[in-house]
Each structure stands twice: as structure tokens, then as C-alpha cells.
Structure 1
Amino acid sequence: MTPPSASASKQVFRNEHYTVLVDEPRRLVRTIRSDKPFVSIQELEASVAALIQALDALGRERYALLSDVRAIPGRNDPEFEAALGRLRPRWLGGFRKVGVLVQSSVGLLQVQRYARKDGLQRRVSNDEAELLEYLTQEE
């Protein structure tokens, strides 16, 4: 489901796991994670590699990123965590600001833990309006 605030956005990428929308007037990129679980680490790596390539093509430094991970099925096995840890900095890095939209307090705590591990600043919230305000404010 596309959030109402994303309706003016243009879809620039989609695979089974991720959709990328660009809102040029607000200089905002939104990645939306589907609820489809990864069946293997190889599928995770291939899907995120394609996502990274799509984001690289945009010119990240021009945009803020809103990563909507509310639909993600929970998963924290060591192999998955290690693979995601290798991919996350390439996915989230290089944007002016990063916000992560989560569904639950457990998701919030997990993404905050990732942020500390990655050393990449990001705001995490379950409030989409709050994140959009933060991401679209000029510095």
C-alpha cells in the first residue's frame, strides 16, 4: 500500500522486496520494504544490491531518505544480521538525512541498535508525519 503522502512521488524502482519513490519537490527518496520474507541470504544480497544500484543512480547527496520498514517480517538470526550489517551502510549512506519508519517499539529498538553499530545518523520513529517534517526541513 502506498502512503497518501507518497502519492505525488514517482516510482523509480521496484522488486519483490523494495519499492523506491522519489518526491523531487521535497528532495525526498522513500524506500518501502514489502512484507515478503527473504528465502535465503543470497536473495537478500541480490535484492538489496539492486536497491543500492537504483539509489546510487539518483545522486544520494541531493536527497533525504525515508526508509519505511513497517511491513518487514521480524528476523534476527546471526547470518541474516551479518549480511544486513554489510549492506545497510551502502543502502543508507550518502543521503542528506535519513529517517526510518517502524511499526513497533521492538522495531524502533532494533533500528536504533543498527544505527549505533553502523555509525550512521538516522532518526527512527513510528510517526510518519514527524519523520517527513524532519527530513524536509532545510538545514
Structure 2
Amino acid sequence: MKQVSRNDHFTILLDERRGLIHTIRSDKPFSSLEELEVAFGELGATLDGLGRARYALLCDIRAAPGRNDPQFEAALQRVRPRWISGFRRVGVLVKSVVGQLQIQRYARQDGIKRLITNDEDELLKYLTQED
């Protein structure tokens, strides 16, 4: 895997051989909703440049700080599609059952199918299987 991009909030790795983009959310909280919007804008632009339809996406959010205040939730709902839409498959790697439940709620809101698990091997198997 090669690193494509890195900032305070996200690292993006590309595995051409397996057709996989791996996004890793850091443990740094967003200091403002504006910072969230900027970070997701950069993330989306980088993923667009890689060609989403060619890849599966692994979102590793295990280190992400928990937050669910209404303003944050509304902003995240607006920007989340810039992260996960347009890929062959999407998988989300979580740390806890609470995280899994939150991402399941997001999946219902977004209407974008994704596997949500804390088992990295299971997730990689799902993301790299043929369509």
C-alpha cells in the first residue's frame, strides 16, 4: 500500500493490487464544523482523483473520537457522501458495538450499502471479493 494523502484527520492509502482504498480517521477531534467541512472536502477531492468506481473503500474509524451533538450529526450527514459514495463496495471498521450501531444508523440515512464490523479480516475478504 502506498500513502496518497495525510492530514490531521485522515490518512488515505492505496492498494492497487487488491483494488482497495483505505481511509483511516485519526483520533483528532474536529475543532469546528468549518474544519469538518474542509477536511471532508479535501478527502472527497482526493478520492475523486483516484477514480472511485475502480476501487472498494475501507473506512477505518476505530480511532475517531465519539461525537453525536445535533450540529455535528447534521454536518456529517451532509459531507458523508463525499467520503463513501461511488465505490464498488464499502466497509467500515469500528472499535465497539456502539460505533457499529451508529454507523448502521448512518447507512440507513445514506442509503449506501456497507459492511460494518470490528473484524478486519472479514472486512478485507468482503472488500476484495469479485463482484
Do residues 45 (structure 1) and 37 (structure 2) align? Answer: yes
Do residues 35 (structure 1) and 27 (structure 2) align? Answer: yes
Residue 56 of structure 2: aligned partner = 64
Do residues 102 (structure 1) and 94 (structure 2) align? Answer: yes
Counterpart-to-counterpart distance in 2, 1:65 and 1:20:
10
Identity across the alignment (%): 66
Of 108, 113, 133, the match for 2:105: 113
In structure 2, stretches of 5+ residues that fail to align are none
TM-score, length of structure 1 as denominator length? 0.93
RMSD: 0.4
8 A Cα contact 2:43 2:82, kept in partner: no
Q: Quick one: which amino acid aligns to residue 72 of structure 2?
A: F
Counterpart-to-counterpart distance in 2, 1:50 and 1:96:
21
Counterpart-to-counterpart distance in 2, 1:102 and 1:129:
13
Q: Quick one: which amino acid aligns to residue 45 of structure 1?
A: E
TM-score, length of structure 2 as denominator length? 0.99
**How many pairs does the alignment contain?**
131
Q: Quick one: which amino acid aligns to residue 35 of structure 2?
A: E
In structure 1, stretches of 5+ residues that fail to align are 1-8
Counterpart-to-counterpart distance in 1, 2:58 and 2:40:
16
Q: CA deviation at 1:91?
A: 1.1
Q: CA deviation at 1:65?
A: 0.1
Where does 1:74-113 land on structure 2 (aligned, <5 Å)? 74-113=66-105
